[in-house]
Amino acid sequence: MKRACISLAIVLCLIPGMLLHAKSSNPIVSVFESIVDFFGDNIKKSAQSIENMFSINCVVAFDVSGSMQAYFQNVKQNAEEFVQIFTERDNLIFATFHETVDILHNGPATRHSMSILRTKIAQSQPFGAWTDIEQAVNSAKTLLSGMEKEYPGRLPILVFVSDGIDDPNPATRRLEKRNLGSYARSMAFGKGWQVYDIGDGNFGQGLTNDAQRARAISDLDVSSSINTRITVSYILHIVLLILFIILLVILFRLARKKYPRAARIGLILSIVLCGLFLHHVLGIIQWVAAVIISIF
């Protein structure tokens, strides 16, 4: 009786959402199609999440405004070296920005495409008259959101190679100037994205004066910093996933002592639901990992 009630409750919870995606005028056929689509989509997303767990979605925003002139060669060399850390399993969007945003690469980081991108980076010059930090951050957000929809489960990283000086065109009539580090992190926090900028060591406060900029850029090693983040992220993902499994086992053992039958049903349901919604579980794990890395 208990099993029948539990099964009925699950079906009743799922049917309303499925009816919203009805495809046929026949209600019985419609519900059946919705059930197939619902479980099929979630199984596909979970499978993609497992496949993509150790690959990357990365958006790089590279500042080519005039304020970068003094340190552009060092920054440009760092950017050329940095793009070599990606593999063909990773997706990379590399964009330059000043008053506008221009995309130099969008797609898998194949050897051939990275060779072309390094040539484009080498040819870039700091010619922009204005620096619009708000537009750069918002564009990066839109681009990474699109990548996540297409390739779920990958490690999401935003990289801002910029001196952090917000100098928008007065014609935009935006009075408030943005702090790159804090503005980017406030936008990315709820999404579980990792954010790196040149002023990263200052915990999101960015580079506030010329002395800080000169010191940070002279010691700049984007490749090493991002490689460390990627390695730590993968380790945290594995550890948190293991802890999640251990938690389920502990809860099952505790429940089995008092409610042996219900505990077995609960364990089976947990396994089925984790399989169906694994992409959500991994998303939560990514968010926790991103928060931990941002703190330390």
> What secondary structure does DSSP assign to the chain, as a single string?
-HHHHHHHHHHHHHHHHHHTT--SSSHHHHHHHHHHHHHHHHHHHHHHHHHHTTSEEEEEEEE-BGGGGGGHHHHHHHHHHHGGG--TTSEEEEEEESSSEEEEEEEE--HHHHHHHHHHHHH----BS-B-HHHHHHHHHHHHHHHHHHSTTSEEEEEEES----B--GGG---SPPPHHHHHHHHHGGGT-EEEETTGGGTT----SHHHHHHHHHT--HHHHHHHHHHHHHHHHHHHHHHHHHHHHHHHHHHHHH-HHHHHHHHHHHHHHHHHTHHHHHHHHHHHHHHHHHH-
Of the candidates 169, 176, 178, 234, the one whose C-alpha atom is nearest the C-alpha of residue 204 is 178
Question: Does residue 177 surpass a pLDDT of 80?
Answer: no
Furthest C-alpha separation in the chain: 76
Confirm whether 31 is domain-assigned: no
Q: What is the mean pLDDT of residues 270-277?
A: 69
Question: Does residue 23 surpass a pLDDT of 90?
Answer: no
Q: What is the mean pLDDT of residues 230-241?
A: 85
Residue 118 is predicted with a pLDDT of: 93
- Look at 180 and 121; give whichever has higher pLDDT: 121
Domain extent, residue 187, equals 55-222
Confirm whether 255 is domain-assigned: no
CATH of the domain at 175: 3.40.50.410
Residue 208 is predicted with a pLDDT of: 62
Question: Which of 23-27, 79-83, 117-121 shows the lowest per-residue confidence on average (mean pLDDT)?
Answer: 23-27
Residue 108 is predicted with a pLDDT of: 93
Residue 10 is predicted with a pLDDT of: 46
Q: What is the mean pLDDT of residues 109-136?
A: 89
Question: Does residue 128 surpass a pLDDT of 90?
Answer: no
Confirm whether 59 is domain-assigned: yes
Return the percentage of the chain with pLDDT > 70, whole number. 72
- Look at 23 and 88; give whichever has higher pLDDT: 88
Confirm whether 126 is domain-assigned: yes
Q: In which band, very low, low, confident or very high, does the pLDDT at 31 lie, cut at 50, 70 and 90?
A: low
- Look at 26 and 65; give whichever has higher pLDDT: 65
| C-alpha torsion sign, points 112, 117, 118, 122 | positive
Q: How many domains, in total, are found in the chain?
A: 1
Question: Does residue 280 surpass a pLDDT of 50?
Answer: yes
Q: What is the mean pLDDT of residues 226-246?
A: 85
Question: Does residue 183 surpass a pLDDT of 70?
Answer: yes
Question: Does residue 105 surpass a pLDDT of 90?
Answer: yes
Residue 150 is predicted with a pLDDT of: 83
Confirm whether 35 is domain-assigned: no
Q: Are strands 194-197 and 91-97 parallel, antiparallel or unpaired?
A: unpaired
Residue 204 is predicted with a pLDDT of: 39
Residue 35 is predicted with a pLDDT of: 54
Residue 117 is predicted with a pLDDT of: 94
Residue 209 is predicted with a pLDDT of: 65
Confirm whether 38 is domain-assigned: no
Q: How confident is the model over 43-101, as pLDDT tens digits?
A: 666 666 666 778 899 999 998 888 888 778 888 888 888 888 898 989 999 999 988 88
CB under 8 A, 24+ apart: contacts of 177-183:
177/133, 178/133, 178/134, 178/137, 179/133, 179/204, 179/205, 179/206, 180/133, 180/137, 180/206, 181/205, 181/206, 182/206, 183/133, 183/134, 183/137
Question: Does residue 292 surpass a pLDDT of 60?
Answer: yes
Confirm whether 277 is domain-assigned: no
Q: In which band, very low, low, confident or very high, does the pLDDT at 167 lie, cut at 50, 70 and 90?
A: confident
Confirm whether 172 is domain-assigned: yes
Residue 256 is predicted with a pLDDT of: 80
Q: What is the mean pLDDT of residues 151-165?
A: 83
